[in-house]
Structure 1
Amino acid sequence: MQIIYHLGAHCTESERLCRSLLRDRGPLSKAGTVVAGPARFRHVLREALETLGGAPASAETQAFLLENVMDEDSPDRIIFCNENFLGQPNWALAQNQIYARAGEKTSGLRQLFPDAPTAFYLSMRSPATFLQTLISKGNAPKQTGAALLLDPATLRWSNTVASIREACPDATVTVWCDEDAPVIWETVMRDMAGIDDSLELAGAFDLVETLINKRGMRSLRQAIAPGMAPADRHRIIAAHLEKFGQADALDMEIDMPDWTQDYIDQLDAIYDADVEAMARMPGVRVLRP
Protein backbone atom coordinates (compact mmCIF):
# COMPACT_ATOMS: atom_id res chain seq x y z
CA MET A 1 0.00 0.00 0.00
CA GLN A 2 1.27 3.44 -0.94
CA ILE A 3 0.74 6.46 1.31
CA ILE A 4 0.04 9.84 -0.30
CA TYR A 5 0.21 13.09 1.69
CA HIS A 6 -1.13 16.25 0.07
CA LEU A 7 0.62 18.98 2.04
CA GLY A 8 -1.18 22.06 0.72
CA ALA A 9 0.12 24.68 0.49
CA HIS A 10 -2.16 27.27 2.01
CA CYS A 11 -3.85 29.64 -0.45
CA THR A 12 -3.46 27.20 -3.35
CA GLU A 13 -6.93 25.62 -3.65
CA SER A 14 -5.73 22.64 -1.63
CA GLU A 15 -9.02 22.26 0.24
CA ARG A 16 -10.94 22.39 -3.04
CA LEU A 17 -8.67 19.65 -4.40
CA CYS A 18 -9.45 17.54 -1.34
CA ARG A 19 -13.18 18.06 -1.94
CA SER A 20 -12.77 17.11 -5.59
CA LEU A 21 -11.08 13.85 -4.65
CA LEU A 22 -13.76 13.14 -2.05
CA ARG A 23 -16.46 13.67 -4.71
CA ASP A 24 -14.93 10.74 -6.57
CA ARG A 25 -14.32 8.66 -3.47
CA GLY A 26 -16.60 5.83 -4.65
CA PRO A 27 -15.06 5.24 -8.10
CA LEU A 28 -11.57 5.75 -6.74
CA SER A 29 -12.16 3.20 -3.99
CA LYS A 30 -13.21 0.65 -6.61
CA ALA A 31 -9.98 1.41 -8.45
CA GLY A 32 -7.95 0.72 -5.29
CA THR A 33 -7.42 4.27 -3.98
CA VAL A 34 -8.88 5.42 -0.68
CA VAL A 35 -9.41 9.14 -0.10
CA ALA A 36 -9.42 9.48 3.67
CA GLY A 37 -12.08 11.81 5.06
CA PRO A 38 -10.51 14.77 6.89
CA ALA A 39 -12.99 14.68 9.76
CA ARG A 40 -12.07 11.08 10.34
CA PHE A 41 -8.28 11.11 10.05
CA ARG A 42 -7.03 14.50 11.24
CA HIS A 43 -7.50 13.95 14.97
CA VAL A 44 -6.20 10.37 14.76
CA LEU A 45 -3.04 11.28 12.85
CA ARG A 46 -2.39 14.37 14.99
CA GLU A 47 -2.50 12.33 18.19
CA ALA A 48 -0.24 9.68 16.68
CA LEU A 49 2.29 12.30 15.58
CA GLU A 50 2.36 13.83 19.06
CA THR A 51 2.66 10.46 20.77
CA LEU A 52 5.40 9.11 18.50
CA GLY A 53 7.46 12.31 18.51
CA GLY A 54 9.18 11.36 15.27
CA ALA A 55 9.75 7.69 16.12
CA PRO A 56 8.49 5.02 13.69
CA ALA A 57 5.05 3.63 14.41
CA SER A 58 4.82 0.01 15.47
CA ALA A 59 2.85 -2.52 13.46
CA GLU A 60 0.11 -2.34 16.07
CA THR A 61 -0.07 1.46 15.86
CA GLN A 62 -0.20 1.35 12.07
CA ALA A 63 -3.03 -1.17 12.16
CA PHE A 64 -4.90 1.01 14.64
CA LEU A 65 -4.48 4.08 12.40
CA LEU A 66 -5.69 2.30 9.28
CA GLU A 67 -8.67 0.83 11.10
CA ASN A 68 -9.70 4.28 12.27
CA VAL A 69 -9.24 6.25 9.04
CA MET A 70 -10.90 3.95 6.51
CA ASP A 71 -13.32 1.08 6.08
CA GLU A 72 -11.67 -0.53 3.05
CA ASP A 73 -9.39 -3.56 3.33
CA SER A 74 -5.92 -3.49 1.75
CA PRO A 75 -6.24 -0.68 -0.82
CA ASP A 76 -3.42 0.04 -3.24
CA ARG A 77 -3.03 3.56 -1.89
CA ILE A 78 -4.53 5.95 0.60
CA ILE A 79 -4.59 9.74 0.27
CA PHE A 80 -4.42 12.14 3.20
CA CYS A 81 -5.07 15.82 2.43
CA ASN A 82 -4.38 18.55 4.99
CA GLU A 83 -3.03 21.99 4.18
CA ASN A 84 -1.86 22.27 7.80
CA PHE A 85 0.46 19.26 7.63
CA LEU A 86 3.43 21.66 7.34
CA GLY A 87 2.11 24.08 9.95
CA GLN A 88 -0.57 26.69 10.53
CA PRO A 89 -0.88 29.45 7.91
CA ASN A 90 0.47 32.24 10.11
CA TRP A 91 3.70 30.22 10.45
CA ALA A 92 3.99 29.56 6.70
CA LEU A 93 6.61 32.28 6.25
CA ALA A 94 8.22 32.33 9.67
CA GLN A 95 12.02 32.67 9.87
CA ASN A 96 12.01 34.19 6.38
CA GLN A 97 11.42 30.75 4.89
CA ILE A 98 8.52 28.94 3.26
CA TYR A 99 7.45 26.34 5.84
CA ALA A 100 10.70 26.37 7.82
CA ARG A 101 9.74 23.12 9.62
CA ALA A 102 8.82 21.19 6.46
CA GLY A 103 11.57 18.60 6.94
CA GLU A 104 10.63 17.93 10.55
CA LYS A 105 6.91 17.78 9.78
CA THR A 106 7.22 15.42 6.82
CA SER A 107 9.68 13.20 8.67
CA GLY A 108 7.02 12.68 11.32
CA LEU A 109 4.43 11.84 8.68
CA ARG A 110 6.84 9.44 7.01
CA GLN A 111 7.20 7.50 10.26
CA LEU A 112 3.47 6.88 10.63
CA PHE A 113 3.75 4.10 8.04
CA PRO A 114 7.51 3.54 7.88
CA ASP A 115 7.42 0.43 5.69
CA ALA A 116 4.98 1.79 3.10
CA PRO A 117 6.14 3.63 -0.04
CA THR A 118 5.33 7.30 0.56
CA ALA A 119 4.84 10.31 -1.73
CA PHE A 120 4.31 13.96 -0.89
CA TYR A 121 2.30 16.37 -3.06
CA LEU A 122 2.61 20.13 -2.79
CA SER A 123 1.08 23.03 -4.69
CA MET A 124 3.03 26.31 -4.81
CA ARG A 125 2.42 29.88 -5.89
CA SER A 126 4.50 32.98 -6.51
CA PRO A 127 5.82 34.38 -3.20
CA ALA A 128 4.33 37.74 -4.25
CA THR A 129 0.74 36.49 -4.29
CA PHE A 130 1.40 33.93 -1.53
CA LEU A 131 2.36 36.66 0.92
CA GLN A 132 -0.44 38.95 -0.26
CA THR A 133 -3.08 36.24 0.15
CA LEU A 134 -1.84 35.10 3.56
CA ILE A 135 -2.01 38.67 4.86
CA SER A 136 -5.41 39.34 3.27
CA LYS A 137 -6.77 36.31 5.12
CA GLY A 138 -5.43 37.56 8.44
CA ASN A 139 -2.37 35.31 8.50
CA ALA A 140 0.52 37.76 8.56
CA PRO A 141 3.82 35.94 9.20
CA LYS A 142 4.49 35.20 12.86
CA GLN A 143 7.90 36.75 13.42
CA THR A 144 9.40 39.78 15.09
CA GLY A 145 8.42 42.81 13.10
CA ALA A 146 6.05 40.65 11.01
CA ALA A 147 6.38 41.34 7.29
CA LEU A 148 8.89 44.15 7.92
CA LEU A 149 11.68 41.58 8.24
CA LEU A 150 10.44 39.39 5.40
CA ASP A 151 12.20 39.71 2.06
CA PRO A 152 10.04 37.92 -0.54
CA ALA A 153 12.95 37.98 -3.02
CA THR A 154 14.81 35.49 -0.81
CA LEU A 155 11.94 32.99 -0.53
CA ARG A 156 12.45 29.72 -2.40
CA TRP A 157 10.04 26.81 -2.65
CA SER A 158 13.03 24.73 -3.72
CA ASN A 159 14.47 25.10 -0.21
CA THR A 160 11.23 23.73 1.22
CA VAL A 161 11.26 20.79 -1.19
CA ALA A 162 14.94 20.14 -0.56
CA SER A 163 14.30 19.95 3.19
CA ILE A 164 11.54 17.40 2.60
CA ARG A 165 13.81 15.32 0.39
CA GLU A 166 16.62 15.48 2.95
CA ALA A 167 14.30 14.43 5.77
CA CYS A 168 12.59 11.71 3.71
CA PRO A 169 15.09 10.59 1.04
CA ASP A 170 13.06 7.51 0.13
CA ALA A 171 9.89 9.53 -0.55
CA THR A 172 9.13 11.31 -3.80
CA VAL A 173 7.86 14.89 -3.95
CA THR A 174 5.45 16.04 -6.66
CA VAL A 175 4.83 19.76 -7.04
CA TRP A 176 2.84 22.04 -9.31
CA CYS A 177 2.15 25.76 -9.62
CA ASP A 178 -1.16 27.05 -8.39
CA GLU A 179 -1.12 29.38 -11.39
CA ASP A 180 -1.37 26.26 -13.61
CA ALA A 181 -3.98 24.52 -11.47
CA PRO A 182 -7.08 25.41 -13.54
CA VAL A 183 -5.49 23.78 -16.59
CA ILE A 184 -3.98 20.69 -14.94
CA TRP A 185 -6.57 20.07 -12.21
CA GLU A 186 -7.68 16.72 -13.57
CA THR A 187 -4.08 15.70 -14.22
CA VAL A 188 -3.19 16.40 -10.60
CA MET A 189 -6.19 14.39 -9.39
CA ARG A 190 -5.28 11.42 -11.56
CA ASP A 191 -1.61 11.53 -10.62
CA MET A 192 -2.37 11.69 -6.91
CA ALA A 193 -4.92 8.89 -7.16
CA GLY A 194 -2.71 6.74 -9.37
CA ILE A 195 -5.32 6.20 -12.08
CA ASP A 196 -5.23 6.46 -15.86
CA ASP A 197 -7.49 8.48 -18.18
CA SER A 198 -10.12 5.75 -18.52
CA LEU A 199 -11.93 6.58 -15.25
CA GLU A 200 -14.17 9.63 -15.53
CA LEU A 201 -13.84 12.05 -12.62
CA ALA A 202 -16.77 14.13 -11.38
CA GLY A 203 -14.41 16.66 -9.80
CA ALA A 204 -12.36 17.29 -12.93
CA PHE A 205 -13.85 20.76 -13.56
CA ASP A 206 -14.31 21.89 -9.96
CA LEU A 207 -11.78 24.71 -10.23
CA VAL A 208 -12.13 25.86 -13.82
CA GLU A 209 -15.89 26.21 -13.51
CA THR A 210 -15.32 28.97 -10.92
CA LEU A 211 -13.21 30.92 -13.40
CA ILE A 212 -15.17 30.91 -16.66
CA ASN A 213 -18.74 31.87 -17.50
CA LYS A 214 -21.59 29.41 -18.01
CA ARG A 215 -21.41 29.59 -21.79
CA GLY A 216 -17.72 28.75 -21.64
CA MET A 217 -18.34 25.88 -19.26
CA ARG A 218 -20.92 24.35 -21.59
CA SER A 219 -18.48 24.65 -24.47
CA LEU A 220 -15.67 23.13 -22.44
CA ARG A 221 -17.67 20.08 -21.42
CA GLN A 222 -18.58 19.48 -25.04
CA ALA A 223 -14.99 19.92 -26.22
CA ILE A 224 -13.34 17.47 -23.82
CA ALA A 225 -13.97 13.81 -24.47
CA PRO A 226 -13.44 10.98 -21.96
CA GLY A 227 -9.96 9.50 -22.21
CA MET A 228 -8.55 12.52 -24.04
CA ALA A 229 -4.77 12.86 -23.88
CA PRO A 230 -3.65 15.23 -21.11
CA ALA A 231 -1.84 17.56 -23.53
CA ASP A 232 -4.98 17.98 -25.62
CA ARG A 233 -7.09 18.49 -22.51
CA HIS A 234 -4.70 21.15 -21.21
CA ARG A 235 -4.70 22.98 -24.54
CA ILE A 236 -8.49 23.10 -24.71
CA ILE A 237 -8.90 24.26 -21.10
CA ALA A 238 -6.29 26.99 -21.57
CA ALA A 239 -8.08 28.20 -24.70
CA HIS A 240 -11.42 28.33 -22.88
CA LEU A 241 -9.90 30.23 -19.96
CA GLU A 242 -8.53 32.79 -22.38
CA LYS A 243 -11.81 33.15 -24.26
CA PHE A 244 -14.39 32.80 -21.50
CA GLY A 245 -12.43 33.59 -18.31
CA GLN A 246 -13.94 36.04 -15.86
CA ALA A 247 -11.40 38.80 -15.27
CA ASP A 248 -12.38 39.33 -11.63
CA ALA A 249 -11.75 35.65 -10.93
CA LEU A 250 -8.53 35.29 -12.92
CA ASP A 251 -6.71 38.51 -12.11
CA MET A 252 -5.32 39.24 -8.65
CA GLU A 253 -4.36 42.77 -7.77
CA ILE A 254 -1.29 42.94 -5.56
CA ASP A 255 -1.48 45.78 -3.07
CA MET A 256 1.60 45.74 -0.85
CA PRO A 257 3.32 48.86 0.54
CA ASP A 258 6.12 50.13 -1.71
CA TRP A 259 5.82 47.24 -4.17
CA THR A 260 6.24 48.46 -7.75
CA GLN A 261 5.30 46.46 -10.84
CA ASP A 262 9.00 46.03 -11.60
CA TYR A 263 9.52 44.46 -8.17
CA ILE A 264 6.53 42.13 -8.64
CA ASP A 265 7.89 41.11 -12.05
CA GLN A 266 11.25 40.42 -10.40
CA LEU A 267 9.59 38.17 -7.81
CA ASP A 268 7.75 36.27 -10.55
CA ALA A 269 10.99 35.77 -12.49
CA ILE A 270 12.70 34.40 -9.37
CA TYR A 271 9.73 32.07 -8.85
CA ASP A 272 9.90 30.80 -12.44
CA ALA A 273 13.62 30.07 -12.07
CA ASP A 274 12.92 28.33 -8.77
CA VAL A 275 10.40 26.01 -10.43
CA GLU A 276 12.99 25.12 -13.08
CA ALA A 277 15.49 24.37 -10.32
CA MET A 278 13.02 21.98 -8.68
CA ALA A 279 12.47 20.18 -11.97
CA ARG A 280 16.17 19.24 -11.90
CA MET A 281 16.13 17.94 -8.31
CA PRO A 282 16.42 14.13 -7.86
CA GLY A 283 13.22 12.58 -6.54
CA VAL A 284 11.13 15.63 -7.46
CA ARG A 285 8.48 15.81 -10.16
CA VAL A 286 6.91 19.03 -11.47
CA LEU A 287 3.44 18.68 -13.02
CA ARG A 288 2.93 21.24 -15.79
CA PRO A 289 0.60 21.88 -18.73
Structure 2
Amino acid sequence: MQVAIHAGVAFSDEGLVMSSLGANRRILADYRTAVLGPRRSRQFVKVVSDSILQGQPDAETPNSLAELVTGNPNLDRVILSSDKFFGPRRTALQHGQIYPFAGKRTAYTESLLDGAQVEVFAGLVNPVVFIPKILTSIHEDHRQDILASTDLSCLSWLGMVEDLLDLAPQVQLTLWEHENSPLIWGDIIRAISGLPDEAPLHEEYAFLSSLLTEAGQRHVLDIVRKGDALDRTSRREEMANILDEYARLEQIEEELDMPGWNADIVEAFTDLYEQDLATIRSMQDVRVLQI
Protein backbone atom coordinates (compact mmCIF):
# COMPACT_ATOMS: atom_id res chain seq x y z
CA MET A 1 0.00 0.00 0.00
CA GLN A 2 1.21 3.47 -0.91
CA VAL A 3 0.27 6.31 1.44
CA ALA A 4 0.69 9.77 -0.08
CA ILE A 5 0.61 12.60 2.46
CA HIS A 6 0.11 16.14 1.21
CA ALA A 7 1.49 18.17 4.11
CA GLY A 8 0.57 21.63 2.87
CA VAL A 9 2.30 23.72 3.94
CA ALA A 10 0.09 26.19 5.78
CA PHE A 11 -1.09 29.09 3.62
CA SER A 12 -0.12 27.39 0.38
CA ASP A 13 -2.92 25.63 -1.48
CA GLU A 14 -5.81 26.61 0.88
CA GLY A 15 -7.70 23.40 0.11
CA LEU A 16 -7.21 23.46 -3.66
CA VAL A 17 -5.38 20.12 -3.66
CA MET A 18 -8.35 18.39 -2.07
CA SER A 19 -10.70 20.15 -4.49
CA SER A 20 -8.70 18.98 -7.52
CA LEU A 21 -8.38 15.44 -6.19
CA GLY A 22 -12.12 15.36 -5.59
CA ALA A 23 -12.79 16.51 -9.15
CA ASN A 24 -10.73 13.57 -10.38
CA ARG A 25 -12.02 10.78 -8.14
CA ARG A 26 -13.18 8.65 -11.06
CA ILE A 27 -9.82 8.93 -12.80
CA LEU A 28 -8.04 8.05 -9.56
CA ALA A 29 -10.29 5.03 -9.09
CA ASP A 30 -9.11 3.70 -12.45
CA TYR A 31 -5.61 3.70 -10.97
CA ARG A 32 -6.76 2.00 -7.73
CA THR A 33 -6.27 5.24 -5.79
CA ALA A 34 -8.59 6.85 -3.24
CA VAL A 35 -8.60 10.14 -1.34
CA LEU A 36 -9.34 10.43 2.36
CA GLY A 37 -11.72 13.33 2.89
CA PRO A 38 -10.96 16.24 5.24
CA ARG A 39 -12.52 14.52 8.27
CA ARG A 40 -10.52 11.31 7.88
CA SER A 41 -7.35 13.26 7.08
CA ARG A 42 -7.78 15.22 10.31
CA GLN A 43 -8.44 11.96 12.16
CA PHE A 44 -5.23 10.48 10.76
CA VAL A 45 -3.16 13.44 11.97
CA LYS A 46 -4.89 13.39 15.36
CA VAL A 47 -4.05 9.72 15.89
CA VAL A 48 -0.40 10.43 15.10
CA SER A 49 -0.31 13.58 17.27
CA ASP A 50 -1.99 11.90 20.23
CA SER A 51 0.45 9.01 20.03
CA ILE A 52 3.43 11.41 19.96
CA LEU A 53 2.11 13.23 23.03
CA GLN A 54 1.82 9.91 24.88
CA GLY A 55 5.50 9.26 24.24
CA GLN A 56 4.96 5.90 22.60
CA PRO A 57 2.20 4.26 20.58
CA ASP A 58 -0.25 2.06 22.38
CA ALA A 59 -1.18 -1.27 20.86
CA GLU A 60 -4.17 0.18 19.01
CA THR A 61 -2.44 3.11 17.32
CA PRO A 62 -1.09 1.19 14.29
CA ASN A 63 -4.46 -0.52 13.92
CA SER A 64 -6.26 2.81 14.02
CA LEU A 65 -4.11 4.19 11.22
CA ALA A 66 -4.39 0.97 9.23
CA GLU A 67 -8.18 1.16 9.40
CA LEU A 68 -8.07 4.67 8.00
CA VAL A 69 -5.77 3.98 5.04
CA THR A 70 -6.06 0.27 4.22
CA GLY A 71 -9.74 -0.42 4.63
CA ASN A 72 -10.29 -1.24 0.94
CA PRO A 73 -8.30 -4.23 -0.39
CA ASN A 74 -8.86 -3.03 -3.97
CA LEU A 75 -6.70 0.05 -3.47
CA ASP A 76 -3.00 0.46 -4.19
CA ARG A 77 -2.69 4.08 -3.06
CA VAL A 78 -4.38 6.29 -0.47
CA ILE A 79 -4.00 10.08 -0.36
CA LEU A 80 -4.55 12.35 2.63
CA SER A 81 -4.06 16.08 2.97
CA SER A 82 -3.46 18.14 6.09
CA ASP A 83 -1.37 21.25 6.66
CA LYS A 84 -1.10 20.13 10.30
CA PHE A 85 0.87 16.98 9.45
CA PHE A 86 4.24 18.65 10.08
CA GLY A 87 2.81 20.12 13.27
CA PRO A 88 0.25 22.69 14.42
CA ARG A 89 0.84 26.30 13.47
CA ARG A 90 1.93 27.27 16.96
CA THR A 91 4.97 24.96 16.52
CA ALA A 92 5.79 25.97 12.94
CA LEU A 93 8.45 28.51 13.96
CA GLN A 94 10.54 27.16 16.80
CA HIS A 95 14.13 26.27 17.67
CA GLY A 96 15.42 28.47 14.87
CA GLN A 97 13.68 26.40 12.23
CA ILE A 98 10.52 26.16 10.18
CA TYR A 99 8.53 23.07 11.17
CA PRO A 100 11.25 21.73 13.49
CA PHE A 101 9.30 18.52 14.18
CA ALA A 102 8.52 17.62 10.55
CA GLY A 103 11.27 15.02 10.28
CA LYS A 104 10.42 13.32 13.56
CA ARG A 105 6.70 13.29 12.84
CA THR A 106 7.24 11.84 9.37
CA ALA A 107 9.59 9.13 10.63
CA TYR A 108 7.17 8.28 13.44
CA THR A 109 4.25 8.05 11.02
CA GLU A 110 6.22 5.73 8.75
CA SER A 111 6.96 3.46 11.70
CA LEU A 112 3.26 3.31 12.58
CA LEU A 113 2.38 2.46 8.97
CA ASP A 114 4.70 -0.51 9.01
CA GLY A 115 4.90 -2.05 5.56
CA ALA A 116 3.39 0.91 3.72
CA GLN A 117 5.32 2.95 1.17
CA VAL A 118 4.99 6.52 2.51
CA GLU A 119 5.42 9.58 0.32
CA VAL A 120 5.29 13.21 1.48
CA PHE A 121 4.41 16.21 -0.68
CA ALA A 122 4.67 19.91 0.19
CA GLY A 123 4.63 23.27 -1.55
CA LEU A 124 7.17 25.66 -0.01
CA VAL A 125 6.19 29.30 0.54
CA ASN A 126 8.52 32.28 0.54
CA PRO A 127 9.34 32.84 4.26
CA VAL A 128 8.69 36.55 3.87
CA VAL A 129 5.04 35.58 3.35
CA PHE A 130 4.92 32.43 5.47
CA ILE A 131 6.39 33.84 8.69
CA PRO A 132 4.02 36.82 9.12
CA LYS A 133 1.00 34.67 8.28
CA ILE A 134 1.96 32.07 10.88
CA LEU A 135 2.57 34.72 13.53
CA THR A 136 -0.74 36.47 12.93
CA SER A 137 -2.67 33.18 12.94
CA ILE A 138 -1.61 31.94 16.38
CA HIS A 139 -2.45 33.00 19.93
CA GLU A 140 -0.71 36.09 21.25
CA ASP A 141 1.09 34.09 23.96
CA HIS A 142 2.63 31.71 21.41
CA ARG A 143 3.50 34.62 19.14
CA GLN A 144 5.35 36.47 21.89
CA ASP A 145 7.23 33.30 22.87
CA ILE A 146 8.42 32.87 19.29
CA LEU A 147 9.44 36.51 18.90
CA ALA A 148 11.35 36.37 22.19
CA SER A 149 13.22 33.15 21.46
CA THR A 150 13.64 32.98 17.66
CA ASP A 151 15.81 34.94 15.26
CA LEU A 152 13.34 35.23 12.40
CA SER A 153 16.07 36.27 9.96
CA CYS A 154 17.63 32.79 10.22
CA LEU A 155 14.47 30.86 9.39
CA SER A 156 14.50 28.90 6.14
CA TRP A 157 13.18 25.65 4.69
CA LEU A 158 16.57 24.00 4.41
CA GLY A 159 16.64 22.67 7.97
CA MET A 160 13.22 21.05 7.60
CA VAL A 161 14.21 19.35 4.35
CA GLU A 162 17.49 18.08 5.80
CA ASP A 163 15.63 16.67 8.83
CA LEU A 164 13.16 14.87 6.58
CA LEU A 165 16.00 13.28 4.61
CA ASP A 166 18.01 12.37 7.72
CA LEU A 167 15.20 11.05 9.92
CA ALA A 168 12.90 9.52 7.29
CA PRO A 169 15.26 8.45 4.47
CA GLN A 170 12.85 5.81 3.15
CA VAL A 171 10.06 8.35 2.62
CA GLN A 172 9.93 9.79 -0.89
CA LEU A 173 9.89 13.60 -0.60
CA THR A 174 8.38 15.75 -3.35
CA LEU A 175 8.50 19.55 -3.13
CA TRP A 176 7.64 22.56 -5.26
CA GLU A 177 7.59 26.33 -4.99
CA HIS A 178 4.12 27.46 -4.08
CA GLU A 179 4.68 30.53 -6.22
CA ASN A 180 4.90 28.25 -9.29
CA SER A 181 1.81 26.22 -8.42
CA PRO A 182 -0.64 27.78 -10.92
CA LEU A 183 1.64 26.82 -13.82
CA ILE A 184 2.47 23.29 -12.66
CA TRP A 185 -0.82 22.37 -11.01
CA GLY A 186 -1.36 19.33 -13.21
CA ASP A 187 2.13 18.07 -12.35
CA ILE A 188 1.40 18.51 -8.64
CA ILE A 189 -1.88 16.60 -8.73
CA ARG A 190 -0.43 13.81 -10.89
CA ALA A 191 2.56 13.47 -8.57
CA ILE A 192 0.41 13.26 -5.44
CA SER A 193 -1.91 10.81 -7.17
CA GLY A 194 0.86 8.67 -8.62
CA LEU A 195 -0.56 9.17 -12.13
CA PRO A 196 1.52 9.02 -15.31
CA ASP A 197 2.44 12.29 -17.01
CA GLU A 198 -0.02 11.70 -19.83
CA ALA A 199 -3.03 11.01 -17.59
CA PRO A 200 -5.86 13.50 -18.29
CA LEU A 201 -7.17 15.63 -15.45
CA HIS A 202 -10.39 17.52 -14.93
CA GLU A 203 -9.98 21.21 -14.07
CA GLU A 204 -6.21 21.09 -14.53
CA TYR A 205 -6.08 24.85 -15.15
CA ALA A 206 -8.79 25.91 -12.69
CA PHE A 207 -6.23 27.34 -10.24
CA LEU A 208 -4.51 29.36 -12.97
CA SER A 209 -7.84 30.60 -14.34
CA SER A 210 -8.93 31.78 -10.88
CA LEU A 211 -6.05 34.28 -10.93
CA LEU A 212 -6.89 35.75 -14.34
CA THR A 213 -9.19 38.31 -15.85
CA GLU A 214 -11.99 37.07 -18.09
CA ALA A 215 -9.84 37.74 -21.15
CA GLY A 216 -7.05 35.62 -19.68
CA GLN A 217 -9.48 32.82 -18.87
CA ARG A 218 -10.62 32.78 -22.49
CA HIS A 219 -7.03 32.47 -23.65
CA VAL A 220 -6.49 29.51 -21.31
CA LEU A 221 -9.62 27.84 -22.64
CA ASP A 222 -8.40 28.35 -26.21
CA ILE A 223 -5.12 26.60 -25.39
CA VAL A 224 -6.89 23.73 -23.64
CA ARG A 225 -9.11 23.24 -26.69
CA LYS A 226 -6.04 22.88 -28.88
CA GLY A 227 -5.25 19.69 -27.03
CA ASP A 228 -2.06 18.06 -28.31
CA ALA A 229 -1.49 20.74 -30.95
CA LEU A 230 1.02 22.28 -28.50
CA ASP A 231 3.74 20.22 -26.87
CA ARG A 232 4.21 20.32 -23.10
CA THR A 233 6.92 23.01 -23.16
CA SER A 234 5.05 25.28 -25.56
CA ARG A 235 1.82 24.97 -23.58
CA ARG A 236 3.65 25.84 -20.35
CA GLU A 237 5.23 28.89 -21.97
CA GLU A 238 1.87 30.06 -23.31
CA MET A 239 0.29 29.71 -19.86
CA ALA A 240 3.14 31.65 -18.25
CA ASN A 241 2.70 34.46 -20.76
CA ILE A 242 -1.01 34.58 -20.05
CA LEU A 243 -0.38 34.80 -16.31
CA ASP A 244 2.07 37.65 -16.82
CA GLU A 245 -0.35 39.59 -19.02
CA TYR A 246 -3.76 38.90 -17.53
CA ALA A 247 -3.21 38.26 -13.81
CA ARG A 248 -5.55 40.04 -11.42
CA LEU A 249 -3.15 41.80 -9.08
CA GLU A 250 -5.42 41.43 -6.06
CA GLN A 251 -5.22 37.67 -6.52
CA ILE A 252 -1.45 37.32 -6.76
CA GLU A 253 -0.05 40.09 -4.58
CA GLU A 254 0.51 39.18 -0.93
CA GLU A 255 -0.05 41.81 1.74
CA LEU A 256 2.64 41.68 4.40
CA ASP A 257 1.50 42.52 7.91
CA MET A 258 4.75 42.51 9.86
CA PRO A 259 5.71 45.67 11.77
CA GLY A 260 9.22 46.84 11.00
CA TRP A 261 9.67 44.82 7.83
CA ASN A 262 10.83 47.04 5.01
CA ALA A 263 11.81 46.44 1.39
CA ASP A 264 15.37 45.47 2.35
CA ILE A 265 14.14 42.75 4.71
CA VAL A 266 11.73 41.43 2.10
CA GLU A 267 14.55 41.28 -0.45
CA ALA A 268 16.90 39.54 1.99
CA PHE A 269 14.34 36.84 2.82
CA THR A 270 13.55 36.33 -0.85
CA ASP A 271 17.25 36.00 -1.73
CA LEU A 272 17.70 33.41 1.04
CA TYR A 273 14.63 31.53 -0.17
CA GLU A 274 16.01 31.38 -3.70
CA GLN A 275 19.38 30.17 -2.43
CA ASP A 276 17.70 27.45 -0.37
CA LEU A 277 15.61 26.37 -3.34
CA ALA A 278 18.74 26.05 -5.47
CA THR A 279 20.31 23.85 -2.78
CA ILE A 280 17.17 21.74 -2.44
CA ARG A 281 16.96 21.22 -6.21
CA SER A 282 20.50 19.84 -6.11
CA MET A 283 19.67 17.24 -3.45
CA GLN A 284 19.71 13.77 -4.95
CA ASP A 285 16.94 12.34 -2.76
CA VAL A 286 14.40 15.13 -3.25
CA ARG A 287 12.05 15.36 -6.21
CA VAL A 288 11.35 19.00 -7.04
CA LEU A 289 8.53 19.86 -9.44
CA GLN A 290 9.52 22.82 -11.59
CA ILE A 291 8.18 24.96 -14.41
TM-score of Structure 1 vs Structure 2, range by shorter chain: 0.7 to 0.9
Q: Which runs of 5+ in 2 are unaligned?
A: none
> Match of 2:179?
179
> Match of 1:214?
214
Shift of 1:89: 1.4
> Match of 1:165?
165
Q: 2:255 aligns with which of 253, 256, 263?
A: 253
Shift of 1:114: 2.1
Normalised by the length of structure 2, the TM-score is 0.87
Contact 2:184 2:290 in 1 (8 A): yes
After TM superposition, the structure 1 stretch with the greater mean CA deviation from structure 2, 139-148 or 257-266, is: 139-148
* AA in 2 matched with 1:132: P
Contact 1:183 1:238 in 2 (8 A): yes
> Match of 1:77?
77
> Match of 1:39?
39
Shift of 1:274: 0.2
Shift of 1:279: 1.3
Shift of 1:123: 1.0
Separation in 1, partners of 2:196, 2:189: 10
Shift of 1:139: 6.1
After TM superposition, the structure 1 stretch with the greater mean CA deviation from structure 2, 29-38 or 162-171, is: 29-38
Contact 1:7 1:81 in 2 (8 A): yes
Contact 1:134 1:140 in 2 (8 A): no
Q: Which runs of 5+ in 1 are unaligned?
A: none
SS of residue in 2 equivalent to 1:111: helix
Contact 2:47 2:61 in 1 (8 A): no
> Match of 2:282?
280
After TM superposition, the structure 1 stretch with the greater mean CA deviation from structure 2, 133-142 or 90-99, is: 133-142
Shift of 1:69: 4.5
> Match of 2:236?
234
Shift of 1:64: 5.8
Indicate whether 1:271 and 2:269 are aligned.
no
* AA in 1 matched with 2:234: D
Contact 1:2 1:76 in 2 (8 A): yes
Contact 1:37 1:69 in 2 (8 A): no
Contact 1:127 1:155 in 2 (8 A): yes
> Match of 2:125?
125
Indicate whether 1:114 and 2:114 are aligned.
yes
Q: From the superposition, tell whether residues 47 and 138 of structure 1 become closer, same or farther in structure 2 (CA, over 3 Å).
A: closer
Q: From the superposition, tell whether residues 231 and 54 of structure 1 become closer, same or farther in structure 2 (CA, over 3 Å).
A: farther
Q: From the superposition, tell whether residues 237 and 47 of structure 1 become closer, same or farther in structure 2 (CA, over 3 Å).
A: same
Q: From the superposition, tell whether residues 238 and 144 of structure 1 become closer, same or farther in structure 2 (CA, over 3 Å).
A: same
Contact 2:98 2:157 in 1 (8 A): yes
Runs of 4+ displaced beyond 6 Å: 52-58
Matches within 5 A, 1:8-87: 8-44=8-44, 46-47=46-47, 50-51=50-51, 65-69=65-69, 72-87=72-87
Separation in 1, partners of 2:235, 2:15: 23
Shift of 1:130: 0.6
Q: Percent identity?
A: 25
